[in-house]
Amino acid sequence: MTIPPLTPMPLSTLLGRIADEWTSRSRIFDIPTARIYDVSSGPDLSVDFMGRTAATPIGPAAGPHSQLAENIVLAWLGGSRIIELKTVQILDELEIGRPCIDMETIGFNIEWSQELRISESLEEYVKAWMILDILSGWDELKPHLGDDPGPHIFDLSVGYDLAGIRSDKVSEFIDGLIDASASIERLRPEIPEPFAAWREHDFDPHIADTVTLSTFHGCPPDEIESITKHLMTRHGLDVVVKLNPTLLGFERVHGILKGTLGYDELRLRRSDFDADLQFERGIELIGELRRFAAEQGRRFGIKLTNTMVVENHRDFMPEDTMYMSGAPLHVLSMTLLDELDRALPGVLAVGENAGEIQVSFSAGISKDNLGEAVGLGLAPVTICSDLLKPGGYGRLKPMLTTLGRAMEEAGAGDIAAWRAVRAAEAHAAGATGPVAAHVASLHDPDTNGAYTRDGTSKLPRAVDHELDMWGCVACNFCVTVCPNDAFFRLPTPEAMAIEGRQQYFVLAELCNECGNCLTFCPEIGDPAEVKPRIYTDRSRFEAGDRPGFLVTADGGRVGVLAAPDLGAEVARLTSIFNEAEGLPLRLSTLIES
């Protein structure tokens, strides 16, 4: 049997977990109340995205934070209001090498599309949509989320070739999110207490009507053009085309990464640039798609950028090729924005231009540069690498509060006013405009330290201690860096004689062995392997990909079955899981023992 990398939890389990975790520990999927963002707590951060309003300009970039329903809920609780869903493509049984994420310094990865079957992706997005609606109206959350969390947008992401996108499977997926009535009706009866009143709720079935096309490396320009036209005409979607940093050309990228920023170890291959869209053709393509969209009464936008393809020079992940993200990508993508803005004067809706083409952005966004990106008119500004660092989804709220504070200090009550402030500041400093001013600061050795190799080379904390099943330095990093919230922690019962005040556990079916907790765990060892692996699905448990424990409902208590050789731990786990702050899963959603 092929073991799927992820087994999503049913809607009833997710909602049961939300309610029980809230009652027993005031958290939802491990995010504490202090990290839940209230949109009424600062200035108006709402933005327009392709004619729709979102209450904040940020969200997770297509990636590991927008794949499972709970990831999307976490991103929304943190303040995301434009969610770029994980890219869906026809190949939905890809074997991805592990580990697949390397965030030790800047950011590299080798995974770039969904790890669920297409039908499962559809269901995850519908479940997330329903949960957000339920939580928006849940009185318990109002003191933290505010009375009205404001509108949010789910932006589809599809790839990577026309044949796949035109296939029945992908077409049905897209149609199923444009009108999700059938899925909602099927899921509605699953809604458990205390949310049962929402079984009658009028959920909006129109989950998405925009799509970001992920054009991966090597996707020919004609194909990009045909896919965009297909998505506009067959599905009636507004389309954003996500471009690659290779558009800047080999010499420019080489000069920036190695010359300006000092990343001498990066290995760029000229052939990757030759195979990608070239700048002049890119300008033509933007012109053609802009004309076509206008003709069709649709909107067209661009997104800067996808990751940068490089040869794998490190020994953490398998594969010869990997994809770079984070701080240096920010410099490349902003430089590309400046180039495109110059080549298409007044066309892009950035800086001081009203511009007809909206530009969304994902490249090395953090708390420190979000204000600049939003002040350029980029929307949405999406984030991936920064959310894979310790703090995880909890890093979103400080991004928004820092932005809000800067706006308040400048007297800007909304994003339009903030853009005007930033433009005035750029001119006062002698720049031709705000885009040019930001790009100049990224290339200036006096101001670009945070983007250089020296500025990004600090390694995660390490202690000289072998990781054990019980006890550790309890830094909580494995909980926060996991995009799937696969890790959870529980207090050690007072009477239990084991090391440590907190114990850490992995929900095995949510762990795709991406390696991110291994990178950040300060102890020696892989938390996803060493800490107790908890299964709820009998077949996954019995398949024994990695040995662990099956949790069951056992006469009104949590029961535990162990894989061979782990039997000695059963009594301890049973005791911990039956404490007041026990297993964060509702008994009624567990299988009977």
| Interface with ligand FMN (CB under 6 A) | 61-64, 86-87, 101, 107, 109, 111-113, 157, 214, 242, 306-307, 325-326, 329, 362-365, 383-386
Give whole-number Cα distances, 25 to 3, 21, 32, 353, in Å.
Answer: 33, 6, 9, 48
Phi, psi of 60 (to 5 degrees): -70, 140
Question: Considering CB distances under 5 to 8 angstroms, the limit depending on partner class, which of ligand FMN, ligand SF4, none binds residue 86?
Answer: ligand FMN
Per-residue HEC secondary structure of 119-159 comes to HHHHHHHHHHHHHHHHHHCCHHHHHHHCCCCCCCEEEEEEC
Phi, psi of 160 (to 5 degrees): -125, -5
Which CB atom, from 61 or from 253, has the smaller least distance to ligand FMN?
A: 61
Question: Considering CB distances under 5 to 8 angstroms, the limit depending on partner class, which of ligand SF4, ligand FMN, none binds residue 307?
Answer: ligand FMN
* 118-136 vs 11-25: helix crossing angle, rounded to 10: 40
Q: Round to whole Å and give the CA distance between 375 and 397.
A: 18
Contact window for ligand SF4 (CB under 6 A) among 140-148, 376-384, 403-411, 479-487? 479-487
Which CB atom, from 293 or from 481, has the smaller least distance to ligand SF4?
A: 481
Residue 327 CB, shortest distance to ligand FMN, in Å, is 8
Residue 110 CB, shortest distance to ligand SF4, in Å, is 13
CB neighbours of 302 closer than 8 A, spacing ≥ 6?
240, 241, 242, 243, 286, 340, 348, 357, 358, 359, 360
Residue 448 CB, shortest distance to ligand FMN, in Å, is 16
Which CB atom, from 21 or from 523, has the smaller least distance to ligand SF4?
A: 523
Q: Is 88 helix (H, G, I), strand (E, B) or coil?
A: strand
Which CB atom, from 213 or from 530, has the smaller least distance to ligand FMN?
A: 213
Residue 95 CB, shortest distance to ligand SF4, in Å, is 16
CA 305 to chain centre: 15
Give me the residues paired with residue 158 across strands: 88, 213
Residue 199 CB, shortest distance to ligand FMN, in Å, is 33
Residue 478 CB, shortest distance to ligand SF4, in Å, is 3
Binding mask 260-299 for ligand SF4 (x = CB under 6 A): ----------------------------------------
Residue with tokens 């992401």: 157
User: 10 Å Cβ neighbour count for 332?
Assistant: 27
CB 588 within 8 A of CB 16: yes
Which CB atom, from 382 or from 516, has the smaller least distance to ligand SF4?
A: 516
For residue 305, say if its preceding peptide bond is cis, omega within 30 degrees of 0: yes
Question: Considering CB distances under 5 to 8 angstroms, the limit depending on partner class, which of ligand FMN, ligand SF4, none binds residue 364?
Answer: ligand FMN
Which CB atom, from 431 or from 473, has the smaller least distance to ligand SF4?
A: 473
- Work out whether 504 is an interface residue with ligand SF4 (CB under 6 A): yes
Residue 67 CB, shortest distance to ligand FMN, in Å, is 8
Instruction: List the alpha helices (DSSP H) in 453-552.
Output: 477-481, 516-520, 527-530, 538-543
- Work out whether 74 is an interface residue with ligand SF4 (CB under 6 A): no
Phi, psi of 548 (to 5 degrees): -165, -145
**318, two tokens:** 């398998």
Residue 481 CB, shortest distance to ligand SF4, in Å, is 6
Which CB atom, from 68 or from 329, has the smaller least distance to ligand FMN?
A: 329
Question: Considering CB distances under 5 to 8 angstroms, the limit depending on partner class, which of ligand FMN, ligand SF4, none binds residue 365?
Answer: ligand FMN
CB 519 within 8 A of CB 478: no
CB 67 within 8 A of CB 83: no
The interface with ligand SF4 within residues 520-559 (CB under 6 A) comprises: 521-523, 527-528, 531
Q: Round to whole Å and give the CA distance between 408 and 418.
A: 9
Residue 506 CB, shortest distance to ligand SF4, in Å, is 5
Which CB atom, from 6 or from 184, has the smaller least distance to ligand FMN?
A: 6
Which CB atom, from 50 or from 510, has the smaller least distance to ligand SF4?
A: 510
Which CB atom, from 176 or from 326, has the smaller least distance to ligand FMN?
A: 326
Question: Which residues are near ligand SF4 by CB under 6 A?
Answer: 467, 472-478, 481-482, 484, 486-487, 504, 506, 511-517, 521-523, 527-528, 531
